[in-house]
Chain A
Amino acid sequence: MMKKIRILIAKPGLDGHDRGAKYVARALKDAGYEVIYTGIRQTPDAIVKTAIQEDVDFIGLSLLSGAHNELFPKVVELLKSKNADDIIVFGGGVIPESDIPGLKENGIRAVFTPGTPIKDIIAYIESAK
């Protein structure tokens, strides 16, 4: 049997706008990945512990409240502290272009803003896996 790619789709922070996260989760399922969906309002700690228990290859973070500069790097930092920084973190949501270089410097490997075709996300996963 082939190794299956497992992806955690998680929403840190306090906004409840989960349509984007659900859309991506569903689309990744249709692309053949195993997607774990945790729902809204997850702390970075809960996301990292979930990712480790589920032994995922990727974490996709979705956030629309503006707290991405705080919470996305926090997830990466916690992964490092648990020796789990082999898990690749990408993000999406309403994120200003000007914030993207800073996020990438902090270990968010890719950022997908509104309007990104799903095939771009799949292509990214295929290239990074």
Chain B
Amino acid sequence: MQNLARQVLKQDIRAIARSISLIENETDITQKEVLIDTLHPHCGNAIVWGITGPPGAGKSCLLDRFIEHLRQDNKTVAVIAVDPSSPFSGGALLGDRLRMQKHATDDSVFIRSMASRGHLGGVAGATADAIKIFDAAGFNYVIIETIGVGQTEIEVMELSDIVLLVLVPGLGDEIQALKAGVMEIGDIFIINKKDLDGADRLKSEVEYVLSLKDSTESDSKHPICMTSATQNDGIGNALSQINSYFAGLRDDGRLAQKRKERIEKELKHIATTKIMASANRFLNIDQRLNGWVEEVFQKKVSPYKLLNKKIGDFLQEINWQ
């Protein structure tokens, strides 16, 4: 595994690809943990963007244009494009890279399609660790393209330095934009398909909603950019807005703060998962569940009483204060 990590650090394409499969498949947890821990000291140099927005907003096409511009600046780019897995078959049709396929032969662009595999939140369970692999491998930019989102798929916020929220005209009025959820996580708002009717109106609605929000916030204003990805219009401007917003984050310490919050979430997540796993092992929850279901169903016991007792017994047994 040390060997695989070494190859990742040398930017070996196959090693990077296989590392991502390793964390996706979780066939060997120890291997995965050693890999991530070995790469950890080499992380933190990449700029991580999240691109999110409703299905069909043009996320992949925009990303294709951004890659074009970033490559002109000689930046290396890794993309993690997430699409949903079928809840019925478990299969997935991963089609985001179709829009970016002109970069397929560019060795400085690495595009990886990722199925959500049942994970909610707009990304996959393996996305966070995949970012680390690309970061450690030295990519200048790591860009996560989420599943086409509705209102609450906001996990990308916890993974990226900057969230680009892509909106298009015709999806509703300003009340939609006032609601909690995805509208709150955008750092940069990109109104794509700006040639369509209603794009200017959408821009003023977003400005209006942000003005209600920005008056109560001390941090910098959220830029709103107008683009047409298919016509390659407004991309350069959007990119320079993104770059200066990022520079602002970095210079006033908010970037470090964000990244610490990311680590906090990650540690909590690992702790919860591991504690759950060992508690499961001790309590044999899976095996005992059927019996418990029967007792609760027949009203012999109520759910909280049952589990408080079982967990109490368990904690006493292992002598946990």
Contact = CB atoms under 8 A, between A and B. Distances in A.
Contacts of A123: none
13 contacts: A2-B25, A4-B90, A30-B88, A31-B89, A32-B90, A36-B95, A39-B98, A52-B17, A53-B110, A53-B111, A54-B112, A54-B113, A82-B14
A106 interface: no
A55 interface: yes
Contacts of B25: 1-4
A112 interface: no
Interface of B: 13-14, 16-18, 20-21, 24-27, 85-86, 88-95, 97-98, 101, 104-105, 107, 110-113, 115, 117
Interface stretch (A21-29, A69-77, A88-96): A21-29
A4 B116 CA distance: 12
Contacts of A3: 21, 25, 27
Given A1-B26, A25-B93, A52 B14 contact: yes
A75 B14 CA distance: 17
Interface in A38-74: 38-39, 42-43, 45-46, 49-50, 52-55
Nearest to A22: B93
A25 B94 CA distance: 10
A108 interface: no
Given A1-B26, A4-B24, A53-B17, A34 B111 contact: no
A84 interface: yes
Nearest to B78: A53
A35 B83 CA distance: 11
A24 to B, nearest CB: 11
Given A53-B13, A83-B14, 10 more contacts: A2-B25, A29-B91, A29-B92, A30-B89, A31-B91, A32-B90, A34-B85, A37-B94, A43-B105, A55-B21
A38 B93 CA distance: 11
Chain A contact-residue range equals: 20 to 34
A34 B94 contact: yes
Task: Give the interface centre of A29, A30, A52 by most chain B CB atoms within 10 Å.
Answer: A29
Contacts of A32: 86, 89-91
Contact of B91 (A28, A49, A83): A28
Contacts of B17: 52-55
A29 B87 CA distance: 11
B104 A38 contact: yes
Nearest to A82: B14
Contacts of A33: 91
Task: Give the interface centre of B89, B91, B111 by most chain A CB atoms within 10 Å.
Answer: B91
Contact of A55 (B20, B93, B94, B115): B20
Contact of B93 (A4, A35, A53, A82): A35
B89 A4 contact: no
B97 A38 contact: yes
Contacts of A25: 93
A2 B26 CA distance: 8
Task: Give the interface centre of A4, A34, A54 by most chain B CB atoms within 10 Å.
Answer: A34
A55 B126 CA distance: 15
